[in-house]
Amino acid sequence: MSSLNKVMLIGRLGRDPEVRHTPDGNPVASFSLATGEFWTDKSGTRQERTEWHNIVVWNKLADLARRYLSKGRQVYIEGRIRTREWDDREGNKRRTTEIIASQLVFLGGRSDSGESASSSQSGVQRNSAESPQPSEEPIPDSEITNDDIPF
């Protein structure tokens, strides 16, 4: 039986991307993305719920995120869910779930970034074929340092 791990989100950045580099020099950027859900409850009151997602982008996409994304900017993200564990500096087990983005499309217009909507949607979209992802093999815990952890 096959499986599928695919996520598509449209939301706004909750903070500017934070860019770090792996020991091999590969850039990795992380940021939070807010998506909203709206509904009317039984009493007719409009309700809202915000969901926060941890986003990680690698290599060329990380450079694009650093250059063009900032807090409040609207973006389309496509990728996969990954949950990973590590030991923090105090030796406590930590766990996080994040979206590993394989595609970014910058949305919005001048009010978001000073670019027109047409230029932000053309020429800055990148996918996994144009931006190689790190090896799909998991990195052994012994090779990961605290500086490698995106969040």
Q: How many domains does the chain have?
A: 1
Rounded Cα gap, residues 112 and 126, in angstroms: 19
What pLDDT score does 108 carry?
A: 79
Residue 125 located in a structural domain: yes
Does residue 1 sit within a domain?
Answer: no
For the stretch 98-107, pLDDT in tens is 999 999 999 9
Query: Would residue 111 count as lying in a domain?
Result: yes
Asked if residue 53 is part of any domain, the answer here is: yes
Please check whether residue 2 lies inside any domain of the structure.
Answer: no
AA identity, residue 99: I
Cα dihedral 96, 10, 122, 132, rounded to 10, equals: 20
The answer to the question of residue 52 being in a domain is yes
Could you tell me if residue 107 is inside a domain? yes
**What pLDDT does residue 150 have?**
54
Output the domain CATH number for residue 106: 2.40.50.140
